[in-house]
Amino acid sequence: MSAPDRIDELRRLIAEADHAYYQLDAPLVPDAEYDRWMRELQALEAAHPECVTPDSPTQRVAGAPAPAFAEVRHAVPMLSLANAFSDGEVADFVRRVVEATGETAPAFSVEPKIDGLAISLRYEQGRLVQGATRGDGATGEDVVANLRTIRVIPLVLRRTPGLPLPEVLEVRGEVYMPKAAFERFNAEALARGEKPLANPRNGAAGSLRQLDPRITAKRPLAFFAYGVGEVRGLELPPTHSALLHLLGRYGLPLSPEIDVALGLEGLLAYYRRIGAARDALPYDIDGVVYKLDRRDLQERMGFVARAPRWAIAHKFPAQEELTVLEGIDLQVGRTGAITPVARLRPVRVGGVTVTNATLHNADQIARLDARVGDTVVVRRAGDVIPEVLRVLHERRPLAGDGTPLSPPFVMPAACPECGSAIERAEGEAVARCTGGLYCPAQRKQALIHFASRRAMDIEGLGERLVEDLVDFGYVQTVADLYRLGLDDLIAMKRRADARDGVTPETVKQGRIATRWAENLLGGIDQSRRTTLERLLFALGIRDVGEATAKQLARWFGSLDALMAASLEELQAVPDVGPVVSQRLHGFFAEPHNREVIAALRAAGVHWPEGPPQRAAEGPLAGRTVVLTGALAALTRDEAGAHLEALGARVAGSVSKKTHLVVAGEAAGAKLDKARELGIEIWDEAALLDFLRVHGRWPPA
């Protein structure tokens, strides 16, 4: 085979492999084979420079930096789409289509609206010769060198038997940055101390505008085709959906979400389906696009201004909006953690009015350099808490002398709720109020947590009621809930109404509504009967979540056993490390907490207790171990706790059921007996080796 023929063959093989790998996610050949083809092609091209063409796969990242982009006049203008923001506007669109075409339930090509950058790829005799941005629709810029670096864009159209190559085919579509690539790119940029990209769309646009294609090549971009521009030497199919399918056969990537829908019902169903799938899609979309499918009917409807009358974009509510930061409030959580919260001028984001957003912590405020009065970008996506993404510093209000009106944020020294000191532990991002349950904010949060469904599950006790109960002094601790009577609740309600300046209908009619209070008391009463794990979780001990509470309840079997446990014994519980054992020990050592627990019991809160269930898990599961003699590095209790944590049962005396005896210094009768019975015996060094192997020595 001649060199030019082999070059052709290699290019075809590589293009097929690229298509399979990047678009079908089904690699054709092992990487090693692909690399061999690539190297062979490079060698042949080096030997035959006259054969090097821009559509060779070796040239994807070849071009030298350009001084500027050449202008491109679009043979067929690149139009935009009219937008619909409501079902009603879509209904109007469908009505216009029905009127213009006489079809009762017209078919539409329905497609995701990719949030990227519109591009026109020009193929002549099957080769990519030009790739232009939209520009003003009539004239754009030739960024083909950058587009060639995008692996999913074919450099030559795929040839299939029976499918002729058109003389000219302009493919219109969207260049975008996949979400995962965006996250990865930003993580790496941050690690290098570089500026991250604001969003995937900016990422795509900025990358294509690079004059040096080698930079673009490092940006993970992709492309979806959604239409055509100039076409010569090819008969186009009668519908848009068939046209897209044809582009797919030429090797162009299509969004897998593309579909055909009938009539208004079909369009709205598609909108809801894609809306629900939006967060899970691997690329950003900002809506869906409906295009009348029959091309003859498209032609009949024509254009208005710069948009087709036969298509419309149905936009999703925006997820980002601009608003003004009116203040920074501090929220005190159950464990005293202080979260700065942005108070915002109300703004609609994603169909919901947002009035505040998290600023996370003081470091984040410093990073954003956010000040009161600033114009900020808020984002609300899915179910997540709205957050302040960035600050438009150029819009910051300035005083006459050009200095900012507001000073930078500083975390106050005292809790805004109770005046206790705010402290921030070394190496921690979170600042905390040190007031504990003296702090009404922490008390309210503790009550809300106590009553929550997965804790004591007190029906009828919502946040508003908790606020009032604390503010009017009816409840100090969780135990006080169980002392509330009907009269208390009704008196409190009257005071709350007076404070709010409202007179409920029922009161006007001379009656008192007591149903809610009776329901609440019923809910409180029902919560008296609970389980030890729920109670432990409900107490709100820091770092004791549901799983740990469950472990503790099983391990100790009773609250008294848990409260009496030493630090070592606590650490023996699987998953309980030094931090949690400290928290537990500290919590139960606090007289105030012991009083609350006693009061809960006195108020009739009860739960079943039983013998400890120490899971037979770990390397010593099912083994009975006896400790004897004196150990040097740790006490016998500590050693026993470690062994239990590894699944052993620790017994006091040696018998035929004993599997292992750990003998320290001056071990006596038990060691003799173990020898007599032929039981395995370890000295202290063997024990420590074993603990070391299982990550329990030296202790953390």
Site residues, ligand IVH (CB under 6 A): 79-81, 111, 113-114, 118, 134, 174, 226-227, 289, 308, 311, 313
Written as six digits, the tokens of 378 are 């808020």
- Phi and psi angles of residue 565, each rounded to the nearest 5 degrees, phi first: -70, 140
Cβ atoms of 204 and 181 closer than 8 Å = no
Closest contact distance (angstroms) between CB of 515 and ligand IVH is 54
As a whole number of angstroms, the distance between CA 198 and CA 213 comes to 21
Output 92 or 423, the one with its CB closest to ligand IVH: 92
Alpha carbons within 13 angstroms on the beta-carbon side of residue 186 total: 14
Instruction: Measure the CA–CA gap between 144 and 69, rounded to whole angstroms.
Output: 9
Which residue is closest to ligand IVH by CB?
Answer: 118
The nearest distance, CB 284 to ligand IVH, in angstroms, is 11
- In the complex, minimum distance from the CB of residue 225 to ligand IVH, in angstroms, rounded to a whole number: 9
542, 546, 552, 555 alpha-carbon torsion, rounded to 10°: -160
For ligand IVH, the closer CB: 80 or 506 = 80
CB of 140 to ligand IVH, least distance (A): 11
Closest separation in Å from C-beta 113 to ligand IVH: 4
Nearer to ligand IVH, 236 or 484 (CB): 236
Tell me how far, at minimum, the Cβ of 82 lies from ligand IVH, in Å.
Answer: 8
210 neighbors 141 (Cβ within 8 angstroms) = no
Looking at the Cβ atoms of 203 and 227, the one nearer to ligand IVH is 227
Question: How near is the Cβ of 583 to ligand IVH at its closest, in Å?
Answer: 52
Nearest distance from residue 98's CB to ligand IVH, in Å? 20
First to last CA, the chain: 70
Catalytic residues: 113
Q: Residue 532 Cβ, how far from ligand IVH at the closest point, in Å?
A: 57
Give yes or no for a contact between 113 and 288, defined as CB atoms under 8 angstroms apart. Answer: yes
Closer residue to ligand IVH in complex, CB, 288/441? 288
Judged by DSSP in three states, 323 sits in strand
Sheet holding 107-114, edge to edge: 83-84, 311-315, 285-292, 107-114, 259-262
Residue whose CB is less far from ligand IVH, 79 or 633 = 79
- How far is residue 502's CA from residue 141's CA, in Å, rounded to a whole number? 65
We find the least distance from the C-beta atom of residue 142 to ligand IVH, in angstroms, to be 18
Q: Which of 257, 267, 304, 272 is nearest to 106 (CA)?
A: 267
Q: Which amino acid is at 633?
A: A
Rounded CA gap, 167 and 608, in Å?
83
Lookup: tokens for 39: 């190297």
Cβ 44 vs Cβ 6: under 8 Å: yes
Bond prior to 698 in cis (omega within 30° of 0): yes
Both tokens of 481, joined, read: 């809930």
Distances in Å between the Cα of 327 and the Cα atoms of 355, 379, 466, 591 are 11, 17, 26, 39
Closer Cβ to ligand IVH, 174 or 638, answer by number: 174
Token look-up 């029976």 returns 162
| Cβ–Cβ < 8 Å for 290, 312 | yes
Closest CA to 585 of 575, 596, 594, 595: 594
- H helices then E strands: how many in the chain? 25, 24
Closest CA to 579 of 414, 382, 428, 406: 428
Residue with smaller CB distance to ligand IVH, 308 or 373: 308
Joined together, the tokens standing for residue 225 give 């085709």
Sign of CA dihedral 223, 226, 228, 234: positive
DSSP 17: H
Plot region of 580 (φ>0 → left; ψ -120 to 50 → alpha; else → beta): alpha
Distance of CA 235 to the CA centre of its chain: 46
CB nearer to ligand IVH: give 301 or 567: 301
207 or 571: CB nearest ligand IVH: 207
Smallest gap from residue 289 Cβ to ligand IVH (A): 4
Output the smallest distance, CB 250 to ligand IVH, in A. 17
Closest CB to ligand IVH among residues 313, 433: 313
Tell me, what amino acid is at 171?
V
Q: What does the CA dihedral 537, 538, 539, 543 come to, rounded to 10 degrees?
A: 40
Residue written as tokens 């829908």?
A: 261
Closer by beta carbon to ligand IVH, 311 or else 626: 311
Q: Which helix (H) or strand (E) holds 609?
A: none
**Amino acid at residue number 199:** N
Q: Which stretches within 482-565 are classed as H helix?
A: 486-500, 505-508, 515-526, 532-538, 546-556, 559-564
How do 649-651 and 375-379 pair as beta strands? Answer: unpaired
